[in-house]
Amino acid sequence: MVYEIVMPQLTDTMESGKVVRWLKKEGDFVNVNEPIVEIESDKAIMEVPSLKSGYITKILADEGSEIPVGSVIAVLSETKEEKVEKEYTKPSVSEEKKEEIKLPKEEIKIESKQLPPATASPVAKMIAKQNNVDIKNLQEEGKLPIPAHEKDIKNYLLMHKLEEKALNLIKEYQLQIENLVKAYPDKERITLEDVEKYIINNSIPLKKEIPFIRKSLIKNLKKSLEIPVFHIFTELDFSNIPKNSGYTITTWFIKILGDCIYQSENLRTKTDEEFYYTYPTVNISVAVDVSGELYAPVIKNVEKKILKEISQDLEIIKQKARENRFSKEDLEGANFSISNLGMYNIISFDAIIPPGCSGIVAVGKIINNISKLTFSFDHRIINGKEAAEFIDLMQSKFKDLDYIKSLL
């Protein structure tokens, strides 16, 4: 019996996934729940296990390709000898292929010793004559193709005008070599320094492909901007948080915020504009930076957890961030979010609500026990009065010494 492995939907917002690395090859046997492939979703790189045992009969998705969710990427069979009757084709690749810049080849080797007479187009012969290029000798040496055309003579001339390091930089910046030759008509050899000067003088940008995860983040940000949002700016006094409790301010903040959200039903709610969906638990995502990319791992069931458990969750998040190994479960299910830039000496700022969350709080630097907060709320779910009551509840919790002591 044949089993199809499809591109899984690893997150709620995932529309396609990128095949990073196959952990098995065709002909290998895999057990149930054994990792078979690494997939880059819109939020992280995750190992995807096989849901069946069997032999990998066919791999249909190449490493590096971006494949739509639901497309068949591999085929398993129960036995190694089993024939796959259905014809499979590789799934359509949605990722735009990076345009390659063709550089002149240094030489074209021709293995045959018996060469036909030197041939070239009339234009190629004219350019060769103007530049004292012996087409016949170069073809015999394998440095020009037979027949030679205009572009072949130009490429040969360009290769002899450019240093190898200069060619590498030209490729990186996707420059037109002819333009460089025109810029330095009197130079016998164009150096790396010449190319660098050309780039600066002409203010040429370095074109970089946007990473897959960043592309997905951009898509989600566009979705976030469709949410009708309003902001409330406030300050929070951390004076009553014990300095020697053994827990960070972040740990305390998550716990108290979670308890307040649990008492405020609308903050545990999301909408598809047809229905409201109110969740029974408080799941708070915390924005973290991993090598320049933004992730939002989720601390779940905050209302049930003690400070020690939240602190342990934060340590696990830090470890996974260092190793860049967040799972699907780590990144899904948030109904509220936190973004903290206080450690960068940011006094106050505004944050964008992630899809699926009722709101987000942006936390600024704590100065004399006071931090400026910006709350952003989804106005489809929460109105101004409800938001103000929630913030008032938070303020009172941070002032309540008996409540603070009860958390220890």
Which stretch of 14-28, 231-245, 261-275, 299-313 has the lowest confidence by average pLDDT?
Answer: 14-28
| Model pLDDT, residue 95 | 42
Q: Tokens for 152, please give them.
A: 């072949």
pLDDT at 85 over 70: no
Which stretch of 83-97, 108-122, 132-146, 212-226 has the lowest confidence by average pLDDT?
Answer: 108-122
Are 175 and 202 in contact by the 8 Å Cβ rule? The answer is: no
Query: Which H, E and C letters describe the chain, residue by residue?
Result: CEEEEECCCCCCCCCEEEEEEECCCCCCEECCCCEEEEEECCCCEEEEECCCCEEEEEECCCCCCEEECCCEEEEEECCCCCCCCCCCCCCCCCCCCCCCCCCCCCCCCCCCCCCCCCCECHHHHHHHHHCCCCHHHHHHCCCCCCCECHHHHHHHHHHCCECHHHHHHHHHHCCCHHHHHHHCCCCCCECHHHHHHHHHHCCCCCCCCCCHHHHHHHHHHHHHCCCCEEEEEEEEECCCCCCCCCCCHHHHHHHHHHHHHHCCHHHHEEECCCCEEECCCCCEEECEEECCEEECCEECCHHHCCHHHHHHHHHHHHHHHHHCCCCHHHHCCCCEEEEECHHHCCCCCCCCCCCCCCEEEEEEEEECCEEEEEEEEECCCCCHHHHHHHHHHHHHHHHCHHHHHHCC
The answer to whether the bond into 147 is cis (omega within 30° of 0) is yes
Q: Provide the 10 A C-beta neighbour count for residue 191.
A: 14
Which of 170, 212, 217 is closest to 352 using CA atoms?
A: 217
Tell me the C-alpha distance between 71 and 64, whole Å.
Answer: 15
More confident residue, 7 or 178: 7
pLDDT single digits (tens) 61-82: 998 888 888 899 998 888 877 6
Are 26 and 59 in contact by the 8 Å Cβ rule? The answer is: yes
Kindly list the structural domains of the chain, giving each domain's residue range(s) and its CATH number in brackets, ordered by start: 2-77 (2.40.50.100), 122-201 (no CATH), 227-406 (3.30.559.10)
| Model pLDDT, residue 102 | 46
Tell me the C-alpha distance between 360 and 353, whole Å.
Answer: 6
| Percentage of the residues of the chain whose pLDDT score is greater than 90 | 42
More confident residue, 340 or 166: 340
pLDDT single digits (tens) 20-55: 889 998 889 999 888 899 888 766 778 888 888 889
| Model pLDDT, residue 117 | 52
Tell me the C-alpha distance between 36 and 50, whole Å.
Answer: 6
Against a cut of 0.85, is the pTM above it? no
